[in-house]
Amino acid sequence: MSKGGWSGVMPDLDRESIVPLYRQIYEQLREAILTGTLPASTRLPSERSFAQRLAVTRSTVVRAYRELVVDGLIEQRVGAGSRVALRGRPAPAEHSAAIPWWVSLPSWRVGEYPMVLGELAAKHDLGRISFVQGIAPDEPSPLGELAKSFARVASDPRLVLSYGDSEGYGPLRDAIAARMRARGVKREAANTIVLTGSTQGIMIVAQSLAEPGDEIIVESPSYPGALQIFQICGLRAIAVPVDDDGMRVDHVEAVLRTRRPRFIYTMPSLHNPTNATMNADRRERLVTIAKRAGVPIVEDDPYGPLAPGDAPPLVALAPEHVVYLSTFSKTIAPGLRVGWLCAPRPILERLLLRKQAYDMATSLYAQAAVTDYLERAYDEHVMLLREELLLRRTLADRAIATYWPSSFRASKPVGGFYLWATTPREIRARSLLDAAERLGASFLFGGAFFAMPGGEHHLRLALTAVKRDEIAEGIRRIGEAIDALRS
C-alpha cells in the first residue's frame, strides 16, 4: 500500500458506540463495495497503515478485513495486500419478468400438518353438532363480568393508548405470580412474561431453546398446534407414548440414555387430547431424569387450573428446570389472547426478545381487563367451570353407554375438555368422521395428534364445544354412523 494518500472510503468511527470498532469498519467498507463507491480491484490500505490512520489497533483492521474476505467482497494475497474482489458474488442472473418472485423463495418447512392450526381455529359449522374446537363451554359464561372489566379499563388512556412493557402489565404479572405461588410454585413476577396466548409460548421455546435440526421429546399423541410449530421450526420430534397416567416416563428415560434432545415438551395435567393427568410418581421421576440429563422441561398447562384438585404443576417440583406455559383461553375466553410463561431468570431476556419480535407486547387493554377480572370474578367462574366439565363428561359417558357398541373405549381420565376414544380395529376414525358428518356430527380424528403415523383408530370429542343438551344427541349421531359403517 502506498504510504501516501488513500483516496477511498475513510470509515467514520464512533468510539462511544456499543458497536465494536472492527464491525464499524467492516460495515462501512462493505456498503462502499456493494454500492460501487469502492469499485472492483481497488487496492485497500495495508492493515498496518489503515490502523494507524484510523487510530485503532492493527488486529481491529485485520478482523474487519477478514469479515470482508468471508463475504467474498475482498481478496487477500500474500505480498499483494487486499483488493476489492472482482465481484462480491457472481452477478445475479437477469431475472425473467415472466417468473414471479415467489418461485425462488427459500424452501418451506410445512411437513405433514399443513394447516392444522387453521383447522383448529376453524369456524363452527352451522347445523352440525361439532365436537371439534377446544373452546370453553358457553355456560358458565364469563361474558357479563368480563364486559364490566373491559368497561372499567376502557376510559384509562394509559391502558389503551400505549404499548406497555413487552414483559407484560405489572399488576397482571404480580397477580399471575401470586396464583402460581398459591399452587405451590416458587415463581415471582420477575419470572413471568405475559403472552398473546400460550401458543405464542410454544413458538418462543421452539425458536429460543433449539435450532433447526435439533431433536426434542414430545408426547404421542400431543397438541397438534405444538407439533406443527415444532415442524415449522425444523425440530425433530422423538415421540413418547401417553397412557391413562400421563407420559410414559420410562420411554423418556430410554431416549435420554443415547440422545440429548433440546427439551421435553409435555402437557402433564388434563393432557390434550387424552385428558390424562400424569401421576405423582412419574412427575418426580421425569424431573429427576431431566435434571440429570441437563434437558429442560417445557410444561404446557392450559388446562391445569381446571384439574379436579388443582394439583401442583411440574414446575413446582423444579422451578429452575421447567419453562411453564399457560393461558386464560380455557379458563376465561380465547378471544382475550392472554397467556403467560414462567422461566428461570437467566433465560428470561432471551425468551422476551422473541416475544417482542412476534408482536411487541400483548394488548395492555386486554391485560388490564384480565387483571380486573381475576380480582373480582375468576375464582367463582373456575369453580363453576370445573363442575360443568364433570357434568358434561357424565352426560357423555351415559350417551356412549347407550349409543355406541362396547368395542369402543373412552379414555378414563375426566375433568377436562376432551373425551378420547378408541375405535375397534375394523373401524377407522377418518371413515367414521365422514359418516358422522353426513349425519350431522363432527369431531377430530386422531391422526393430527401424532408426531408419527398413528391415530387412525382414535377420535377426540371436545365436549365443551357444543351446548350441554346437544352432547347426547351428537354422540347418538356418531353411534348411528358407527352402525352405518358396520352394516
* Closest distance of CB 479 from its own copies, Å: 23
- List of long-range contacts for 120-128, beta carbons under 8 Å, 24+ apart: 120/224, 120/225, 124/465, 125/442, 127/440, 128/437, 128/440, 128/441, 128/442
* Closest distance of CB 354 from its own copies, Å: 7
Cell of 156: 384509562
* Closest distance of CB 462 from its own copies, Å: 12
* Closest distance of CB 294 from its own copies, Å: 3
Q: Which C-beta is closer to its own copies: that of 297 or that of 471?
A: 297
Q: Which C-beta is closer to its own copies: that of 278 or that of 370?
A: 370
Q: Which C-beta is closer to its own copies: that of 78 or that of 98?
A: 98
Q: Which C-beta is closer to its own copies: that of 321 or that of 397?
A: 321
d(CA 276, CA 39): 67
Q: Which C-beta is closer to its own copies: that of 269 or that of 464?
A: 464
CB-based contact 54:62 (threshold 8 Å)? no
Q: Which C-beta is closer to its own copies: that of 276 or that of 369?
A: 369
Q: Which C-beta is closer to its own copies: that of 192 or that of 277?
A: 192
* Closest distance of CB 58 from its own copies, Å: 20
Q: Which C-beta is closer to its own copies: that of 159 or that of 185?
A: 159
* Closest distance of CB 163 from its own copies, Å: 5
